Chain A
């Protein structure tokens, strides 16, 4: 496979104003790395990509692509979009409707009709398994095929950076996974920096080398995908990435021997991992440590009886409040002093015969709990 590019780190920062919306963000992506911009719609993710692409002009900032400064507010540097050597992929692909597959791929090649240009197109056609489709118009292709053509077109002119704006959003889950694997494999071969916009957690985990969470035009956190999205460390981030259970509690007791601490709140008592910062400041000075503890719904086990012999540090009795369908499984809400959401499979629901009003136990390990936020009061 031969997608050759002289790769260099893409980096920059911008401040943009679009109407009343203000965006302030900075990024750095190494060659071959994927930086995921994660956040709700309207957060400023696409705006960031459009600023890098030169499709909107930032108020201030500095942008480098392929080792070249393409924008600098202070120096007045401005390279127009067509001079920035980018591959930009949108959710709707925007394949040119009046051109066939081959002409779409060759569109950005300055020498599209020369022998070298044709070789390049043929190479991409075989790389993306588009043989036999070259003579079709875009609407004669399936969604997945359109996606491949769009990616081939974006890569044809050997971009110095790839900008992917929710490239899988309009595909079904199955196809999304396949294409995600393909994209991952292809990126491993072509060391260009990639920025990927998504609000799909699974996609961010599957493709990201690092994740940057953006909300309301601000970067909340940047880090490893599992750190940020698995057990996120900031309250706002946790809510954005959909941690189902968040409890505001007070630290009651520290057990350095076990590496845990006991936290209590209205009707609730949890064993959670000891946090180093809290243990350091653990001397009794009259203040109280308040923490927000998160537990993912899928980390909770439901049991009909107490499991006294188990290793799980948290075993809470509760009453089933509601059972909702949440494909592929079910979400059960248990009142354990505070409502607690648990995700279970349909088979488990049937086997246990779970119904509202039933008394169940919620069981989970201390290490399934994570600190989202903390402050001294």
Chain B
């Protein structure tokens, strides 16, 4: 392997000056608030009590449970959908593909209002759903709905790119070797697209955990039922800063853990070699 000569390192001045300056500012900008959060939390005497309080634990439980359910739905339905989007170049597939981008640019609050208009008591299909005994708004189901709505594009986009990066030739070759299209999908396509899918899943999960606006509008803020971590932080801020701090640190720890897991899951020895 050739190493960079010292000369080429010095001559790349834009990277050195612009990049270095940008890096310092960015690290300060992101690092300072995170550090402040940790410092303030550490100064708290009853930090452990706040973390283990009923309200905090129930919010944590609800956040984990709902996000796991919504991610399961997103992966199970989103994977075949993303595969279709990656392999089809028909007009309708491209149109549907751009619809996937909509939740990315739509403010979550608007998404919440829109879902109320659809599934709410006076919504388009709300009364029909209610007549068969399904009540969605302001229930835990609504939390899951909101999370799927805002988080699914992150997974589907990433999975689609992952599938697109798997050359069709691999699938062709596998089939000439006597392996059926279904087995080819599970033995070739899926493993090769997996790193991109895990990246997408990580981003979607983070987005689902941090979901606030749409949940607030569509699911409300009921402790133990619809009050997820972000909503609990907001409610806690109204009464005690300490509670909010404790919850925030918990979410921060979860995010860092998620980043590490993501790095481990998406690393492959063969990556970038196909």
Bound pair (A, B): yes
CB of B169 closer than 8 Å to a CB of A: yes
- When A82-B181, A108-B179, A137-B273 are in contact, do A94 and B173 touch as well, CB less than 8 Å? yes
Decide: B175 and A94 in contact? CB cutoff 8 A: no
Q: How far is the CA of A137 from the CA of B272 in the complex (A)?
A: 12
Complex interface: chain B residues within 8 A of A84 (CB)? 176
Complex interface: chain B residues within 8 A of A54 (CB)? 175
Complex interface: chain A residues within 8 A of B270 (CB)? 97-98, 137-139
Complex interface: chain B residues within 8 A of A139 (CB)? 270, 273
Q: Residue A154 contacts which of B177, B269, B274 (CB distance < 8 angstroms)?
A: B177
Q: Residue A81 contacts which of B169, B170, B176 (CB distance < 8 angstroms)?
A: B176
Q: How far is the CA of A81 from the CA of B173 in the complex (A)?
A: 9
Q: How far is the CA of A157 from the CA of B191 in the complex (A)?
A: 23
Q: How far is the CA of A107 from the CA of B268 in the complex (A)?
A: 20
Q: How far is the CA of A88 from the CA of B171 in the complex (A)?
A: 12
Question: A-facing mask of B237-274, CB < 8 A → 1, else 0?
Answer: 00000000000000000000000000000001110011
Q: Residue A86 contacts which of B174, B176, B179, B269 (CB distance < 8 angstroms)?
A: B176
Smallest distance from the beta carbon of A137 to chain B beta carbons, Å?
Answer: 5
Smallest distance from the beta carbon of A206 to chain B beta carbons, Å?
Answer: 25
Which chain B residue has the least Cβ–Cβ distance from A139? B273
Complex interface: chain A residues within 8 A of B274 (CB)? 97
Which chain B residue has the least Cβ–Cβ distance from A55? B172
- When A96-B170, A98-B270, A139-B273 are in contact, do A85 and B188 touch as well, CB less than 8 Å? no
Which chain A residue has the least Cβ–Cβ distance from B173? A94
Complex interface: chain B residues within 8 A of A92 (CB)? 169
Complex interface: chain A residues within 8 A of B178 (CB)? 82-83, 85, 108, 110, 157
Most chain A CB atoms below 10 A, which of B173, B181, B184, B268: B173
Decide: B175 and A82 in contact? CB cutoff 8 A: yes
Complex interface: chain A residues within 8 A of B136 (CB)? none
Residues of chain B in range 182-218 having any CB-CB distance to chain A below 8 Å? 184, 187-188, 191-192
Smallest distance from the beta carbon of A24 to chain B beta carbons, Å?
Answer: 23
CB of B167 closer than 8 Å to a CB of A: yes
Complex interface: chain B residues within 8 A of A137 (CB)? 269-270, 273
CB of B180 closer than 8 Å to a CB of A: yes
Question: B-facing mask of A57-78, CB < 8 A → 1, else 0?
Answer: 0000000000000000000000
Q: How far is the CA of A88 from the CA of B176 in the complex (A)?
A: 6
Smallest distance from the beta carbon of B249 to chain A beta carbons, Å?
Answer: 39
Residues of chain A in range 237-259 having any CB-CB distance to chain B below 8 Å? none
Complex interface: chain A residues within 8 A of B177 (CB)? 82, 107-108, 153-154, 156-157
Q: How far is the CA of A84 from the CA of B274 in the complex (A)?
A: 26
Decide: B175 and A138 in contact? CB cutoff 8 A: no
Q: How far is the CA of A189 from the CA of B188 in the complex (A)?
A: 31
Which chain A residue has the least Cβ–Cβ distance from B194? A98
Q: Residue B175 contacts which of A80, A96, A110, A163 (CB distance < 8 angstroms)?
A: A80
Decide: B174 and A107 in contact? CB cutoff 8 A: yes
Question: B-facing mask of A261-279, CB < 8 A → 1, else 0?
Answer: 0000000000000000000
Q: How far is the CA of A80 from the CA of B269 in the complex (A)?
A: 33
Which chain A residue has the least Cβ–Cβ distance from B174? A107
Complex interface: chain A residues within 8 A of B187 (CB)? 107
Smallest distance from the beta carbon of A214 to chain B beta carbons, Å?
Answer: 21
Smallest distance from the beta carbon of B182 to chain A beta carbons, Å?
Answer: 10
Q: How far is the CA of A165 from the CA of B192 in the complex (A)?
A: 24
Decide: B176 and A87 in contact? CB cutoff 8 A: yes
Q: How far is the CA of A157 from the CA of B178 in the complex (A)?
A: 8
Q: How far is the CA of A33 from the CA of B273 in the complex (A)?
A: 36
- When A82-B181, A96-B188, A97-B192 are in contact, do A53 and B176 touch as well, CB less than 8 Å? yes
Supplied contacts A82-B180, A154-B176, A154-B177, 10 more A-B pairs, CB within 8 Å:
A55-B176, A80-B175, A82-B179, A88-B173, A90-B173, A96-B192, A97-B273, A108-B174, A108-B179, A163-B176
Q: List 24 A-B contacts (CB under 8 A).
A: A53-B172, A80-B181, A81-B172, A81-B175, A82-B175, A82-B177, A82-B178, A82-B180, A88-B172, A94-B169, A94-B170, A96-B188, A97-B273, A98-B192, A98-B268, A98-B270, A107-B177, A107-B187, A110-B178, A137-B270, A138-B273, A154-B176, A156-B177, A163-B176
Closest 9 CB pairs of A and B: A108-B177, A88-B176, A97-B274, A139-B273, A81-B175, A82-B175, A97-B270, A94-B173, A94-B169
